[in-house]
Amino acid sequence: MPTIVPWLIFLLPFASFLLIGLILRPFLNKWPRVAGYVTIGAVGLACALAFWVLFAVMGAPEHKLMVDDIQWAIIGNLNIHIGVLVDALTAVMVVVVTFVSLMVQIYSQGYMKGDPGYQRYYAFMSLFTACMLGLVLANNILFMFVFWEGVGLGSYLLIGFWFHKPSAANAAKKAFIVTRAGDFGFLAAILLLYASTGTFDTQTLYNLVATGALAGTTLTWVAIGIFAGAAGKSAQFPLHVWLPDAMEGPTPVSSLIHAATMVAAGVFLVARFYPLFQHSAEAMTTVAVIGAFTAIFAASMGLVMNDIKRVLAYSTISQLGYMMLGLGVGSVAIGIFHLFTHAFFKCLLFLGSGSVNHGTGTFDMRLMGGLRKAMPWTYATFVIGSLSLAGIWPLAGFWSKDQILVAAFANNPVLFTLAIVTVFMTAFYMFRAVFMTFHGEYKGGAVPEHGSHDEHSHGPHESPAVMVAPMVVLTVMAVCAGWFNVTGGFSQLLGSEAEGTNLVASFLGVFMHPLPLASLIVALLGIFLAYAMYLKKWISPEKIGNALKPIYTLLYRKYFMDELYENVFVKTILYNGIFKAMAMFDSSIVDGTVNGVANTTAGAGGVLRKIQNGQTQLYVISIAIGAIAIAICVYLFH
Amino acid sequence: MMFSVGLDHYLILSAILFCIGLVGVITQRNVIKLIMCLEIMLNAVNITLIAFSQYITPTLLTGQIFAIFVMVVAAAEVAVGIAIVFSIYRSRESVDMENFNILKW
C-alpha cells in the first residue's frame, strides 16, 4: 500500500471542504447540488481507501503499518513531526468514520434538499469528517489535540447550522463551552506529558509506559486529564449536558455526531492512550465508574423524554458510558467493538428519526403514532436498529454489549448491576419510542418548521429513496456488524486473544454462558414492559407518572443538572465571583494604571505649556541663561 | 614695550561684540534693530573663527571658509527675516516685538 493512502483519507474530505468553501459557494451558487456530489465523492473515495487500509493492516505483521513522518517545525529543542499512525485501531476507526459519514452525506441529499444553506452544510460536514479522520490518523498527541479542537469547531458550526434559531445558536455555544471544560484537562495532560517525557509521539509514549519510565502519580494524572477531555467530547457525566441540546442541529448532523465523529472521539482517545490507562489502576477505575454511572444515569432520563431525538441523545450518552465501562473493565477491543456496532445502529436510528421528521414535521412522539403503514421502510429499519440497540440476539448490539457485561461481571458486581439495569432501561425506552411513533393512531404531526416541506399537508409519507437507501445499508450493518467478533476476529485484530474458533458453534454456543442469556431476558422484559404500557395500555403510563411524581419530575427535568450549572456554577461562581473580581481588577488596576499615566502627563503638560507664551525674547533669555549655566558648569567641574 | 596683538585680544573683542549683540537681541523692541543685533552676534563669531584659524591652524583655511559660509547664511537669513517682518508689518502695522506673540499655545 502506498504511504500516500492514509494521508489521502484525511486530505480528500479536507479538499472537499476547501473546494466547496472557496470555489463552489462563491462562484457556482447556481448549482448547489454540486456541493453534495463533491462531498459524497470525496468521502466515498476516502471510504474506499479506508477499506484498503483496513485490509492492508489485517495482513500486516502486528497489524501495524509504518508510514514516515514529515518534519513540521523545530522550535529550540522542540521538534514537531506530523505523521500518521496506522494500526488496527486507526484502521477500524477510519472505516467506521468514512462509512457512516458517507451514509449520512447521501441521506442529507434528501433531508437538506432546498435548504438555503445547502452548500455551507456540505462544506461543514466535509470539515467535520476531515477533522475526525485527522484525529484518528495522527501519530502525535499535539496534532491529535489540533484535530480534537477541529472536531469541536465542526460540531459548533453544525449544531448551530440554523443559527437564526436562538435555541440552535445557544446549543452550539453550550456544546463548545462544555466540551472546552474537558479540553482543559486534555491540554493539561499534554503539557504534563511533555514536561515529564519531552515527547508528543504516541509510539514513543507507549514505549515509555512499557519500560516503566512513565509511571506513578504523573501517569495517573496524565490519564485522568486525557479522560477529562474524553468525558467532555463523549458527554460523560458530569459534562453530558451539551449532548441533548445538540439536537438543535439538522438530524443528519446529530446522526454523524452521535455515531462516528465527536462523541466517538472521546472513546477513541481513551483507546488510543490505553497503555497509559492500563498502567494506572486509579485511572482505569475512574473510567469504569464514570462510564457505568453515565450509562444508567442517562438511560434513566431517556425513559421519560417525549422528543424522539432526545430519547436517542440520552441513549447515546448511555451507550458511550457502556463503551467507557468496556474500556475501564475490559480492553480496547471491547470498548471499540461497541463503538463499532453502536456507530451503525445509532446512525440508523437517527436517520430514522430524521425520516420521521421529514414525514410528519415534528420530533414530538406524542404527535406521532401509526406511522407503521405510512412509512414501512423507516419502520422496518427503525425497529431493527432498536432491537440491535436493545441487545437482542443475534443483532450487532447483542455481541458488543455482551462482552462489556461479561467484563464488568468479572470485575465488579456493582458495575455489573448498573450495566444490567441499563440494559433493561435501554430496551424499554427504545421500544417506548417505537410504539409511540409507529403504532397506534396517527395524532396529526405538526406544521413543518423549515420551508421545504410544504407537501406534508397530505399527511405522513415515506421519505425519498435517497434517504431510505442509506438506512437500508445501515440496517444490514446493524444486523451483521456484531458477527465480526463472534469468533473473536475483531478482538484479535485489536490485540486481544481470540476465544472461539467455529463461527456457527460460537454463534449458538454463546448461550452456554448464563450471562448472555440473562442480558437477553432482561432486554426482552424491557421490551415487554414497553409493549404493555404503550401498545396494549395494560398499565397506564400516566398513572405511573402520577404515582411516582417526584421521580418523574426529577427525570424529566434531567436531574436539574442544567439548573445546577446555570444557577450555581455559571451565575454564582463564575459570574458573580470570578468574573466580577476580574472586572473589578480590570477597571480599577489595569485601567487605573493607564489612565493615571495619561492624567499625570496631561497635567504636567498643562503646567509646562504656560512657559510657551510666544515672546521670542523670553526664549532668547532662556537660551542665554542656559548657555551661561552650561559654561559655568564646564568651568567648575572640568 | 611693543604692543602686539594676540589671540586673546581677538577673543576678548569677539566676546564683547557677542555680548553687545545678545543684550540687543534681548532688550530691543524694534524688530529691525533686533535683526541688526543678531548680525553683530554672527560677526562676533566670525571674528573668533578667523582668529582661531590664523593663530592655531595657520596652514588650513577651514575657519576662514567657515566665516564666509556664515556670512552667506546670514545674508540669506536677513533676506528671509526682513521679508517676514514686512509681512507681519502689513497685517499688524507694527514692528514691535511685543506684538509678535502669536506663535504660542
Q: Which positions ≥6 away from B78 have C-beta within 8 Å?
A: B35, B39
Q: Which residues of B touch A614 (CB under 8 A)?
A: 100-104
Looking at every residue in chain B, the average pLDDT score rounds to 89
DSSP-assigned beta bridge partners for residue B96: B30
pLDDT greater than 60 at residue A504: no
Is B102 a member of any domain? no
pLDDT greater than 80 at residue A247: yes
Closest chain B C-alpha to A597 CA, distance in angstroms:
23
B65: domain CATH number is 1.10.287.3510
CA distances from B85 to A552, A616, B22, B39 (A): 98, 14, 20, 16
Residue of B nearest to A624 (CA): B22
Q: What is the number of structural domains in chain B?
A: 1
Residue A633 is predicted with a pLDDT of: 94
Collapse the DSSP code of A71 into the 3-class scheme (helix H, G, I; strand E, B; otherwise coil) and give the result: strand
Q: Residues A622-637: what's their mean pLDDT?
A: 92
Closest chain B C-alpha to A607 CA, distance in angstroms:
12
Closest chain A C-alpha to B12 CA, distance in angstroms:
16
Is B51 a member of any domain? yes
Collapse the DSSP code of A72 into the 3-class scheme (helix H, G, I; strand E, B; otherwise coil) and give the result: strand
Contact indicator for A381, A474 with CB cutoff of 8 Å: yes
Q: Which residue has the higher pLDDT, A217 or B71?
A: B71
- Residue ranges of alpha helices (H) inside A510-590 are 514-530, 541-547, 549-556, 561-563, 580-584
Is B104 a member of any domain? no
- pLDDT above 70 covers a percentage of chain A that reads 94
pLDDT greater than 60 at residue A616: yes
pLDDT greater than 70 at residue A456: no
Nearest to B105 among A609, A615, A617 (CB): A609
Q: Which residues of A touch B35 (CB under 8 A)?
A: none
CA distances from A365 to A529, A546, B88 (A): 18, 20, 93
Bridge-based pairing state of the strands A70-75 and A78-82:
antiparallel
Nearest to B103 among A614, A620, A621 (CB): A614
Amino acid at A453: H
Residue A604 is predicted with a pLDDT of: 92
Of the candidates A613, A432, A427, the residue with the CA atom closest to the CA atom of residue A525? A427
- Please judge whether B26 and A615 are an interchain contact, meaning their C-beta atoms are less than 8 angstroms apart: no
- Please judge whether B100 and A609 are an interchain contact, meaning their C-beta atoms are less than 8 angstroms apart: no
Residue A497 is predicted with a pLDDT of: 58
Collapse the DSSP code of A79 into the 3-class scheme (helix H, G, I; strand E, B; otherwise coil) and give the result: strand
Q: Residues A112-129: what's their mean pLDDT?
A: 85
Q: Which residues of B touch A622 (CB under 8 A)?
A: none
pLDDT greater than 60 at residue A453: no
Residue of A nearest to B101 (CA): A614
Q: Which residues of A touch B98 (CB under 8 A)?
A: 615
Closest chain B C-alpha to A629 CA, distance in angstroms:
15
pLDDT digits (tens, 9 = 90+) for A165-211: 888 888 888 888 888 888 888 899 888 888 888 778 888 888 888 88
- Please judge whether B22 and A624 are an interchain contact, meaning their C-beta atoms are less than 8 angstroms apart: yes
pLDDT greater than 50 at residue A52: yes
Collapse the DSSP code of A140 into the 3-class scheme (helix H, G, I; strand E, B; otherwise coil) and give the result: strand
Looking at every residue in chain A, the average pLDDT score rounds to 82
Handedness of CA A555, A557, A558, A564 (dihedral sign): negative
Residue A457 is predicted with a pLDDT of: 47
Contact indicator for A256, A104 with CB cutoff of 8 Å: yes
Q: Which positions ≥6 away from B3 have C-beta within 8 Å?
A: none
- Please judge whether B101 and A615 are an interchain contact, meaning their C-beta atoms are less than 8 angstroms apart: yes
Q: Residues A2-10: what's their mean pLDDT?
A: 82
Residue B69 is predicted with a pLDDT of: 94
Q: Which residues of B touch A613 (CB under 8 A)?
A: 101, 104
Closest chain B C-alpha to A613 CA, distance in angstroms:
5
Is B100 a member of any domain? no
Residue A502 is predicted with a pLDDT of: 52
One-letter-per-residue 3-state SS of B4-28: CCCHHHHHHHHHHHHHHHHHHHHHC
Q: Which residues of A touch B103 (CB under 8 A)?
A: 614
Is B52 a member of any domain? yes
pLDDT greater than 60 at residue A72: yes
Q: Which three cell numbers stand for residue B21?
A: 549683540
Q: Which domain holds residue B28?
A: 7-91
Q: Which residues of A touch B19 (CB under 8 A)?
A: none
User: Cα angle at B66 between B62 and B71, to 5 degrees?
Assistant: 155
Reported confidence tier of residue A109, pLDDT bands at 50, 70, 90? confident
**pTM of the full structure:** 0.75
Closest chain B C-alpha to A621 CA, distance in angstroms:
6
Q: Residues A21-46: what's their mean pLDDT?
A: 83
Is B75 a member of any domain? yes
Q: Which residue has the higher pLDDT, B53 or A64?
A: B53
Q: Which residue has the higher pLDDT, A456 or A107?
A: A107
* Predicted complex ipTM exceeds 0.90: no
Amino acid at A276: L
Q: Which residues of A touch B100 (CB under 8 A)?
A: 614, 616
Of the candidates A342, A339, A322, A336, the residue with the CA atom closest to the CA atom of residue A89? A336
- Please judge whether B26 and A616 are an interchain contact, meaning their C-beta atoms are less than 8 angstroms apart: no
From A62-66, A462-466, A529-533, B15-19, the region with the lowest mean pLDDT: A62-66
pLDDT greater than 80 at residue A444: no
- The residue among B28, B95, B103, B105 with the most chain A CBs within 10 A of its CB, best to mutate, is B105
- Please judge whether B97 and A615 are an interchain contact, meaning their C-beta atoms are less than 8 angstroms apart: yes
Is B105 a member of any domain? no
Residue B22 is predicted with a pLDDT of: 92
- The residue among B19, B30, B102, B104 with the most chain A CBs within 10 A of its CB, best to mutate, is B104
Residue A475 is predicted with a pLDDT of: 87
- Please judge whether A624 and B105 are an interchain contact, meaning their C-beta atoms are less than 8 angstroms apart: no
- Residue ranges of alpha helices (H) inside A166-307 are 166-197, 202-211, 216-233, 242-245, 251-259, 263-272, 274-278, 281-302
Residue A115 and residue A453: Cα distance in Å, rounded?
A: 10
Please give the DSSP secondary-structure letter assigned to residue A78: E
- The residue among A617, A619, A622, A628 with the most chain B CBs within 10 A of its CB, best to mutate, is A617
Q: Which residues of A touch B104 (CB under 8 A)?
A: 612-614
- Please judge whether B101 and A613 are an interchain contact, meaning their C-beta atoms are less than 8 angstroms apart: yes
Of the candidates A249, A201, A1, the residue with the CA atom closest to the CA atom of residue A83? A201
Residue A355 and residue A252: Cα distance in Å, rounded?
A: 10
Residue of A nearest to B26 (CA): A617
Of the candidates A341, A461, A466, the residue with the CA atom closest to the CA atom of residue A394? A341
The secondary structure element, H or E, covering residue A87 is strand A86-87
Of the candidates A185, A188, A194, A187, the residue with the CA atom closest to the CA atom of residue A214? A194
Q: Residues A436-453: what's their mean pLDDT?
A: 63
Of the candidates A127, A128, A142, the residue with the CA atom closest to the CA atom of residue A83? A142
Residue A353 and residue A454: Cα distance in Å, rounded?
A: 19
Closest chain A C-alpha to B88 CA, distance in angstroms:
15
Q: Which residues of B touch A612 (CB under 8 A)?
A: 104-105
pLDDT greater than 70 at residue A487: no
pLDDT digits (tens, 9 = 90+) for A335-382: 888 888 888 888 888 888 888 888 777 777 777 777 777 788 888 888
Residue A512 is predicted with a pLDDT of: 67
Is B1 a member of any domain? no
